[in-house]
Amino acid sequence: MKKNRICEKYGACTNEEQVRNGAAGKLIGSSQVSHYLPTILTSAVTVPVYEHHRDAADFNKNFYTYAWQLQEKHGDVFTVHLGPRPMVVLCGTQTIREALVNNAEAFSGRGTIAAAQLVMQDYGIFFSNGERWKTLRRFSLATMKEFGMGKWRVEERIKEEAQCLVEELKKYQGAPLDPTFFFQCITANIICSIVFGERFDYTDEQFMHLLKLMYQIYSLLRSFSCQMFELFSGFLKYFPGVHRKIAKNQQEILNFITHHVEKHRATLDPSAPRDFIDTYLLRMEKEKSNYNTEFHHQNLMMSVLSLFFAGTETTSTTLCCGFLLMLMYPHVAEKVQKEIDQVIGSHRLPTLHDRTKMPYTDAVIHEIQRFSDIVPTGAPHRVTKDTIFRGYLLPKNTEVYPILSSALHDPQYFVQPDSFNPEHFLDANGALKKSEAFLPFSTGKRICLGESIARNELFLFFTSILQNFSVASPVASKDIDLTPKESGIGKIPPTYQICFLAR
């Protein structure tokens, strides 16, 4: 790899004192920015939006594939300029883990998603930083453990929802359907049960409208117009555009949340909190005399909104990807069903206790997550202090993007990274094999808050469906399309039809 100018003159800086004493000159952000990060900054990648509109669209649509190409040329750490925004990109399993795990505190800040933050700003669990984020995350983890992550509680909630789904799918009697809506319903209902203490019927008009609003937001966030807004939000925020539709939808969801918060206030029993909202309201009351408390209405609203977004779309999309893969690879589905029949049978519901006895099924779910790679770039991070990383100075507030896709497709860990192969997660004895490159939930201090819930949902929903149904495609296998719809922030499977045939 080429050395950057600082390396040529001084060698890579190895400690902060060297940097402060002049070896690295000025900090990033000065006119000499290209001197102080890896080679790519000497010819920084720029998106020339106005001159090359189509190139900019391709860049934003496939940012992670561009990152892979740049990784081959410039190494695992480099900087790109997206419009006026410089950001450090991290590629490869070891690089990502070195930053987010070994230097966890320094890389624990949250970066910017401009279109989403017009309403959320820096409130709530997802976009907050510093002590606010630490306080809210501690509270949220403890509360979700009590009302959801606790093994028995979450298991019963998911099993109940799985049974509702099975009964709904039986009504179709094997007719083709698009599973997207149902997978959104079941994952949203798990979050609703934790946050609101109740689930909704799949025909409930308010619930259906809520799902529609969230789906529209995700679709808009994936659009080219929104990606351009991310590049030039400081200017474009003053003009009409998709960012205003996103903000409008977010506000409608907040109105839905407000309605339920007020219902909770009116029926709150301090001796028997029912869910996340009750517990938060009690904490607000306890700290009402603390002028600096983080337990106020704004953080409650934005935390609940964050939980909805994080807990619904990613898990439902993974299920959509998973069953599309089962259509493409029916022998894998049949092998999973064989393990289900051997371990669970047909006369009881799957339980979390079954997972350790079902290594092949567990490996298939891991491989679905790895291969589908639905959030290839991960959420943006921000360094919380001046940080020396691999000999380079990252000044405080530098934005950092970990390319999770580069870990999930790391050839050092996966023999056939571009192929769907459950054997990636099985050892020679057929037992589940863990991999440090398996990072669908990211890692470090900003690891997905609902990782445990999502893992339990995927296992119980996946096994419950295949226990009761075989799956078939109404089109020939050669016509099944796995090509995802891609954007700057994620990948979703193509729309497809599936037949759930009662076993």
Residues of the binding site = 448
The β-bridge partners of 486 are 491
DSSP 3-state helix, strand, coil percentages of the chain (rounded to 5)?
A: 55, 10, 35
Calculate Rg over the CA atoms of the chain.
24
**CA distances in angstroms from 310 to 304, 307, 378, 443, 487, listed in the order given:** 10, 5, 12, 15, 18
d(CA 166, CA 369): 23
d(CA 148, CA 451): 12
The β-bridge partners of 432 are 426
Could you list the residues known to form a binding site for heme, using ranges. 448
Give 417-441 as a DSSP string. TTS--GGGGB-TTS-B---TT--TT
Give 67-80 as a DSSP string. HHHHHHHH-SEEEE
What's at 114, amino acid-wise?
A
d(CA 360, CA 435): 15
d(CA 450, CA 308): 11
Q: Which of 261, 267, 264 is nearest to 299 (CA)?
A: 261
d(CA 427, CA 414): 12
CB atoms near residue 470 (< 10 Å): 17
